[in-house]
Structure 1
């Protein structure tokens, strides 16, 4: 497979590794981006990189909460300029409010009525009116005794580049107060799951494979190799424990008070986190990148 300059650029941005290391990684794994990240990590040349680091799209996340139910909807646009448009923002707000009561599936919400028309029709009309392609791409629903929301990089009330929902059990006033702090924490740290129990088994298997290969390679290169028992019973489990502490919400150090884990902070406040959602604009969308000269040439040809 041909290794392109764009692939090298994306992998460098995602991992922080040097150009020659990135090129070698991509060559070794025949251009597989995820495998290249693992190869670099095994060699100690990069930190873990989430797929979201390598994707982008414009638009907004709209959030709405009522009576223990919260929704986050993503509506994409072609440019960030449109995301600042008052008409587009009104659309995001209206769709989020409709989603709050219409149902749990996006197709049901698209078919729901907004000002006498279906949501899907309203989006299509907005495309014609604003002059840019838009997509009501996805939604997430979260329910609990108390649901708190937060938006990061807010463009307007209830909408921004990252939307977070947190569900909690316990005293409502306390849950709402500390829930906002937990939501801000989630926006900043992007945990992979609530706890080890909810982490996808494939994620654990992949991380274990990386840490095992890394530990064995480091030990083989050491002037004083450690016994295999130490590697498998101490070093690898220790690294996996650290991985879980860094990537599960309840195990993370609370950004407001790093002396406590999020789980301990919740317990101290007399509440329990039962679920969360973090939705960022553009996750999972590969954005085509062209240099400025190519864009000009393309426009002239058109």
Structure 2
């Protein structure tokens, strides 16, 4: 039986990130073989991950990454979820989120991100599995978005930043132009801050989800009837309200938050004239942490009453 020294346990802990007692047990089970002990811990980590997979992971971080392509740029935003807000302040988790965002620059979609390799050589899924074993919470890459422009910038903005490029709301805005990149980034960041504040549904009217328009039309039509508007006038009234609705939810039609007398579309056009080159916003995304995830609510008073019979 090989001697399990404190130095060997420390070495395994540094390599695996697992707890001290787990490392000691792994070495004991594998007769002091460091590589075998690492595999044993990873197997144990997989078991832990499976047990935690049904827990709701609605906290975590939105991480951003950007790479320069010469005249243009590629940028990515990734939502990496955990179970508690506490984990988002954990340096290991923050570093993992940054690594995942960087790895996502070269692929598309969550499955491809999970299979992509981070700089350490392990896949994103392996990185998360080891982190789950170390921290003890369910974690996952929930969704991602990526934009590329052949010329121009993809500006990013993180609202309520926990650390650089990490926070609860992440916004990307693709700004295509041959104008000065520093000036374009300034414009893009302003628009990204606008997007964070207003949460538009689409870039242009043509991009607006027809189902969202019809849903709004149905609500407005029913409201007009309840208000006793003449049936012959309802269609015209609703059409005017739909136009107003589009100005509220379509990015380019929205009044710019920093200057409500100017729409975002006018801001872009005016900046293009000022810089001497046309500017086009080709896309945007706003990822809000936990958006759409149904969180489990605990009724502790009811649980206590059930146990005590009170």
1:127-166 aligned within 5 A = 127-144=132-149, 145=151, 146-166=153-173
Q: Residues 297 and 105 of structure 1: is their aligned pair in 2 closer, same or farther, counting only changes over 3 Å?
A: farther
Q: Residues 56 and 246 of structure 1: is their aligned pair in 2 closer, same or farther, counting only changes over 3 Å?
A: farther
TM-score by length of 1: 0.75
> Aligned pairs, how many?
238
After superposing the two structures, state which structure 1 stretch, 80-89 or 139-148, moved more: 139-148
Contact 2:172 2:285 in 1 (8 A): yes
Match of residue 186 from structure 2: 177
Match of residue 232 from structure 1: 235
Contact 1:56 1:283 in 2 (8 A): no
Match of residue 197 from structure 2: 188
Instruction: Report SS of the residue matched to 2:125.
Output: helix
1:293 to 301, 304, 308: 301
Instruction: Show CA shifts across 1:7-66 (max 9, x none).
Output: xxxxxxxxxxxxxxxxxxxxxxxxxxxxxxxxxxxxxxxxxxxxxxxx992110001111
Instruction: Report SS of the residue matched to 2:256.
Output: coil
Unaligned runs of 5+ in 2: 1-55, 273-278
Instruction: Show CA shifts across 1:277-298 (max 9, x none).
Output: 1111112210011133246679
Q: Within 1, Cα distance between the matches of 2:65 and 2:93?
A: 16
- Relative contact order higher in (CA < 8 Å, ≥ 6 apart): 1
Q: Within 2, Cα distance between the matches of 1:94 and 1:140?
A: 15
1:284 to 288, 292, 295: 292
Instruction: Report SS of the residue matched to 1:194.
Output: coil
Q: What is the deviation of 1:163?
A: 0.5
Q: Residues 70 and 294 of structure 1: is their aligned pair in 2 closer, same or farther, counting only changes over 3 Å?
A: farther
Q: Within 1, Cα distance between the matches of 2:88 and 2:184?
A: 32
Q: Within 2, Cα distance between the matches of 1:180 and 1:76?
A: 25
Q: What is the deviation of 1:198?
A: 0.3
Instruction: Report SS of the residue matched to 1:283.
Output: coil
TM-score by length of 2: 0.73
- Find the structure with the greater CA-based Rg: 2
Displacement over 4 Å in runs of 4+: 294-300
Q: What is the deviation of 1:104?
A: 1.2
Q: Within 2, Cα distance between the matches of 1:60 and 1:159?
A: 6
1:98 aligns with 2:103: yes
1:109 to 96, 100, 113: 113
Q: Within 1, Cα distance between the matches of 2:250 and 2:57?
A: 24
